[in-house]
Amino acid sequence: MDWITNCLSSFSKEELGVVAVVFAFLIGCAFGSAILCAFMRIGKGQTWARGRSKCDVCNKELTWDQLIPIISFIIHGGRCKMCQTKLSWIYPVSEFIAGVIFAGIIYMFFH
Ligand SMILES: [Zn+2]
């Protein structure tokens, strides 16, 4: 485990803080996405943890490039890749908010 210690000690506390906050943001985005998806499924009376996400309109399973929080929304112009239906802004916004909350918690740990 020495290489981890060596690797970490080559960074300053501030640099590690930035890396940790960025990671926390990304994890928060993924978390926000998963929570929103679970709530949507419960709302529709489906099992919340089953299968991949599907498009509400064309009912096709989303591909990996549509499952990256925020990034997918931007690269596909906020539309479903298959049917071109506009997706709700609530997806990227809630992902972003969850990311900010996670990053904020980690930021407080480092400051
Ligand atoms: Zn679709």
Residue 17 covered by a domain: no
Residue 2 covered by a domain: no
pLDDT tens-digit series, residues 37-49: 888 888 888 776 6
Residue 73 covered by a domain: yes
Residue 84 covered by a domain: yes
83 Cα–ligand 1 center, Å: 4
Q: What domain count does the chain have? A: 1
pLDDT tens-digit series, residues 56-93: 889 899 899 998 899 999 999 999 999 999 998 988 99
Residue 1 covered by a domain: no
Residue 22 covered by a domain: no
Residue 1 pLDDT grade (very low, low, confident, very high; cuts 50, 70, 90): low
87 Cα–ligand 1 center, Å: 9
In DSSP notation, 63-74 reads: PGGG-STTHHHH
Single-letter code of the amino acid located at 6: N
Question: What is the span of the domain harbouring residue 83?
Answer: 31-110
85 Cα–ligand 1 center, Å: 6
In a 3-state reduction of DSSP, which class is residue 86?
strand
Residue 5 covered by a domain: no
Q: What's the rounded Cα separation, in Å, for the pair 74 and 92?
A: 9
